[in-house]
Each structure stands twice: as structure tokens, then as C-alpha cells.
Amino acid sequence: MTSNTDRAASDNSKMQISSPQIVRVNLSDRAYDIVIGSGTLVGAGTFAISRTRATHAVIITDKNVEARYAHPAAEQLGQAGCKVEVLVVAPGEQSKSMNAAGVLWEKLLELGTDRKSLIVAVGGGVIGDLAGFVAATYARGLPFIQIPTTLLAQVDSSVGGKVGINLASAKNMVGAFWQPRGVMIDIAALDTLPDREYRAGLAEVVKYGVIMDAEFFDYLEHHVDEINMRNHEVLTHIVTRCCRLKADVVENDEREETGLRAILNYGHTFCHGLEAATGYGELLHGEAVAIGMVCAARLAQSLGRIGASLGERQRNLLTALNLPVTVPDVDHDQLLSIMRRDKKVEHGKLRFVLPSRLGHVELVGDVEEAQVRAALVG
């Protein structure tokens, strides 16, 4: 599980930073920057050390990105004066577990990790959530940096400080609010992302347009070809806009106390149920989000909250981005049972984030089970 930094790839030094964008997340003494650009990874060491003054860094990554991104990051941290170790877990949702966290805690102890140490998450959403949770809980809290390498992590899970692990039958039920000291996003990392992973991230991108920004949704509709070709200029704009939108929400409701942050869960009540019902890993999170948004729009229409056109536009955009839009063959009774464990359930009643118009959603309670079942079919 541990590997040495002398295996770090050196070709990253040839990359050039291209006009990085900076999104500031304003949270008083826990404020931090999100740096977005192409080739930003070459500045990882300076970025991390300037924000933490750490002398020891532990990178947590998975086998899929270890050689390509974790070792170059380790090299940069070493050049900045850090002693660096790399801990590698298996890729996939199965690693977002108490067992994986326990193994990492024990490894941190073996490595002499202390309050002057830094945790660096290099990978997708699973790695960010797991590494952040380990950072939040080990020694009552260690600083950590996010270096997300998937689109889904870049636009969503790396920002906002929600970290955690899954239980066997419920997603994200054990966790914490633990803000990173900074997020470094390299758009160039998306060039090597498998097609399915890339498209899964696009579901969260579409989500931001539906819940907060109709103009951004229009932009996505008019740039489908560039998005499908992974155009860096378009992706930089997309990632920057998504990060700004999420930062706006987090700044106003960091710990989900006012209800505003719940809007980020659009489609996620259906999504989390589908992920659990199909067995974690069968559906990628973003794929389940896409299906969940289609179900949520269908539910909103049945409740008279929106007309047919919004749901059609959303479905057409998701389809153009090659995302799934139909519920897989799962037992609906089992799915409903899982959905009742959702964190938004109140007094035993399911609640859903539903649109009232493009760019605006609300948390809606007391939805009849028959209406939920009907939303699964279409």
C-alpha cells in the first residue's frame, strides 16, 4: 500500500500552466482557493506548502492514478521540502468504507503522522471523500489538499468540505464537514479520463444549470460538441463556473443548517437509492445522478411544479452527452426502502429537491409514495 516517491514520473515538469482561474471559497478563517487551469499540477508542491507549512505529506490515491498523477505530485511536494509518502487503495466505491479508513489510520500511525503532517487527496470523488474523512478524524484533524483528477470531483465533490464513507446499505452516512486548505484542478487530467468516467462527471455539470443557472444550462446546450471533444477552453469555463456556483452555496450554508445546501442534492435521493439497489460500483455516481435528475423532473411535472419542456430539455442534454436516462431493472420496493434512509427524510417522509423553473429548485416534502413510484417509470 505504501510506495516511494523516487518512482515519481518526471515528464510532468514539461507541462505549462495555462492562465489559471482562481475561485475563492470565503469561509472566514477556513477560506481557501480553488486553482483551475491546464498544467497546474506542476505547482502542487508550492501550492500545498504555502497553505499548510507542512514538513510531512501523505498522498492518498488509488491504483488507477498512482503513476500518472500521484507520483508527479509527490515529486513536486518533495522539491518543496516535504518528506512524502504515498498510500494506495483499490479504485472504486468499495474503498469508501470503514475498513479502508481503518487501514489508512493504521498506516498513518506507522508513518509517524502528526499535526505537522498534510494529507493530499489525488484522484476522483471516492479518494477525495475517503482521504478527507481520514484527515478529519486522524489525530482529531489534519490539514488536507484536494487534487481531483476526474470531472465529477473537479466540479463537485472536491469543493465544500463534505467528506465521508459509506455503510453497507447507505451512502455517505458516516462523515464530517472538513474543509480542504486548497483545491488544485488540472484540466489536462481529463484528457486521460476513461470515457465513461468523463461522462459521469457531466451529469453534475448539468445539475448546476438546472438548480442555479439557466444561462449556464443554455451554454451547455450550445457547446455539446466541444464538451464531447473535451475542449480545454470550454472545460475550463465549465469547471470554473461550477466551482463558483458551489462555492456560493457553501459560503451561505456550509453545514446544511439553513437548507440552502440541500439544493445540491437535486436528483440524489433517487441516485443514492439506485446506487445501493444495483450494488455500489454497478452504476457510476454520475450515471445515477443523471437518471435521478430525470426521475426528479418527472416527479416535479406530476406535482404541477414544471411543464414538460424543462424535463425534455434536461433529458435531451443528458442524452446528447451520452448519459443514461432510464431506470435500470431494479426492484422498486427495495429501491423505495433504501430511499427512506436518505438523510433528507423528515419524520419518516421522503423529501425531494425539485425544480420550479430552469435555474431554481426547492426542497419539497410530503410526497406520496405512489407519485415516487410513477416517477421511476417513463
Catalytic residues: 140, 162, 204, 246, 256, 261, 265, 268, 272, 285
Give the Å distances, CA to CA, from 161 to 131, 135, 183, 362.
11, 11, 11, 22
Name the nearest CA neighbour of 164 among 112, 235, 93: 93
Length of the chain: 378
| d(C-alpha 211, C-alpha 229), whole Å | 25
CA gap 254, 101 in Å, rounded: 24
- Judged by DSSP in three states, 211 sits in helix
CA dihedral 180, 184, 185, 186 (to 10 degrees): -150
Characterize the bridge pairing of strands 360-364 and 170-177.
unpaired
305: left (phi over 0), alpha (psi -120 to 50) or beta: alpha
- The CA-to-CA distance between both ends of the chain, in Å, stands at 45
Q: At what angle do helices 268-277 and 332-339 cross, to 10 degrees?
A: 120
Q: Tell me the residue ranges of DSSP E strands in the chain.
A: 2-3, 18-25, 32-38, 56-62, 83-89, 117-123, 144-148, 162-167, 170-177, 182-186, 352-357, 360-364
Tally of CA atoms within 13 A in the half-sphere of 215 that contains its CB: 2
Q: With the C-alpha atoms ordered 156, 280, 375, 377, is the resulting torsion angle positive or negative?
A: positive
